[in-house]
Structure 1
């Protein structure tokens, strides 16, 4: 099994995953708020150039070059960031960052090319297959599936993530595409270690979004050995993580990874 380690920076904890050991990376906790990715990159690799996005719950994945060409305008408010939910590095020493508060932060590294990706996979992005999208971009840049290492950070766990059946159908369609909504729900329940859990409230179910992402990734031909899922739930671990569902506050934790050559 892949192991997760707590690290410390100036007395504040952040998480790393053994699967991503070749890369400087971290899933940061709420004590780091409101530091920016610019500041957090100092923790990982002070020389790296920093890339982040204005996240919009879609499935667009950009490279630093695409971001730079979109942002020839200056400024430092949200309009200074390209709208997307995934980043894929192109060169060494590029730090790519995503923010999350219950959504899944996904960090990917390629052991051969050293390139990396950071993805914000909320339920909407997951329904739109943002992680397979990022993997497709890595492949277009020369990655082979067997060289990828994928870690999903702290996010809301399935046992506490209540959604409407409609939302579950939309997410489920990404792994069991079927026209009939009930058939999607039934098929999800039949999957071993199902991402769908029952909920006592009528018209509601609970969904493990990280498990759905893992199933999407495995359906590409990537083995379960190449995937690690953090054993932490943002909603149930208030001492370390913000949870939008718990606090209804627009606060986030950042997750980032730095490419190498």
Structure 2
């Protein structure tokens, strides 16, 4: 069975944050690995993507992008072949039958919906994309399709939690130079380090942008190896590769 988490604020909009449970991958990728860029068996990855899609919108067209830790957003109007995925980290659409999918393995997945306007979006917010404004650009791209930010419901899915996300003081200073108020997202850690609450930072960007509702699922990918893939955990374990989970949202036909 696929472990599919949903957000109350997204109501009846087809969506879900899939974990690693279920799926056909084996070994270090065991479970529902959907990462085309992983070293997993490609047939297994493609089957996992079908299983994930069908858990949310059976038979829909799953659309993903080649994620590059940017603030770039694409407006999707139709199917995109896997080999032709554009380099971007967020997508928006107003077309029924398309399921937008964002892959993560510690970074922050954000799903967006203006149900009244019939517009949805999905963003991959690693730290570079988050500070670069990927969520702000997603909102603007949705507005171009007729959405209103005060009507937007946003959900922040499973990502690395503050207790698991140790960063250097230099890293924290980068965020504090951008906005001194960002110091509140860093808690004391061991000497020369602090703990970063990236989910809270992304939520604050959404709130500052004026979105109507924000849900945080508050699930730490690093500390739950049976439920989620984690890039940082795989590195700490010395594993050769890591799986990716998918967060999806779409408009029913």
TM-score computed with the length of structure 1 as normaliser: 0.80
Distance 1:124 1:188 in 2: 15
Distance 2:72 2:127 in 1: 14
> Residue 228 of structure 2 aligns to a residue in which SS?
coil
Question: Counterparts of 1:176-195 in structure 2 under 5 Å?
Answer: 176=179, 184=180, 187-189=181-183, 194-195=184-185
1:53 alignment counterpart: 65
Quickly say closer, same or farther: Cα 1:136–1:247, change in 2 above 3 A.
same
Distance 1:188 1:52 in 2: 31
Distance 2:101 2:176 in 1: 27
Deviation at 1:260, TM superposition (A): 4.0
> Residue 30 of structure 1 aligns to a residue in which SS?
coil
Determine if contact 1:53/1:85 at 8 Å carries over to the other structure: yes
Give the gaps of 5 or more residues in structure 2. 24-31, 34-44, 236-240
**Residue 141 (structure 1) aligned to one of 117, 123, 145:** 145
Q: How many residues align?
A: 226
Deviation at 1:140, TM superposition (A): 1.5
> Residue 238 of structure 1 aligns to a residue in which SS?
coil
1:246 alignment counterpart: 233
Deviation at 1:12, TM superposition (A): 2.7
Give the gaps of 5 or more residues in structure 1. 1-10, 177-183
Determine if contact 1:29/1:254 at 8 Å carries over to the other structure: yes
1:259 alignment counterpart: 251
Distance 2:65 2:164 in 1: 28
Deviation at 1:54, TM superposition (A): 0.9
**Residue 190 (structure 2) aligned to one of 184, 200, 207:** 200
Determine if contact 1:89/1:115 at 8 Å carries over to the other structure: yes
> Residue 99 of structure 1 aligns to a residue in which SS?
strand
1:107 alignment counterpart: 111
1:222 alignment counterpart: 211
Distance 2:182 2:57 in 1: 41
Deviation at 1:168, TM superposition (A): 2.0
Superposition RMSD in Å: 2.0
Determine if contact 1:123/1:171 at 8 Å carries over to the other structure: no
User: Could you report, residue by residue, the CA deviation over 1:195-226 in whole angstroms, capped at 9, with x for unpaired residues?
Assistant: 11111221x22111111111111112235xx0
Question: Counterparts of 1:1-261 in structure 2 under 5 Å?
Answer: 11-31=1-21, 32=23, 33-34=32-33, 35-36=45-46, 37-65=49-77, 76=82, 79-174=83-178, 176=179, 184=180, 187-189=181-183, 194-202=184-192, 204-223=193-212, 226-248=213-235, 249-260=241-252
Distance 2:198 2:166 in 1: 11
Deviation at 1:123, TM superposition (A): 0.7
Determine if contact 2:109/2:125 at 8 Å carries over to the other structure: yes
TM-score computed with the length of structure 2 as normaliser: 0.82
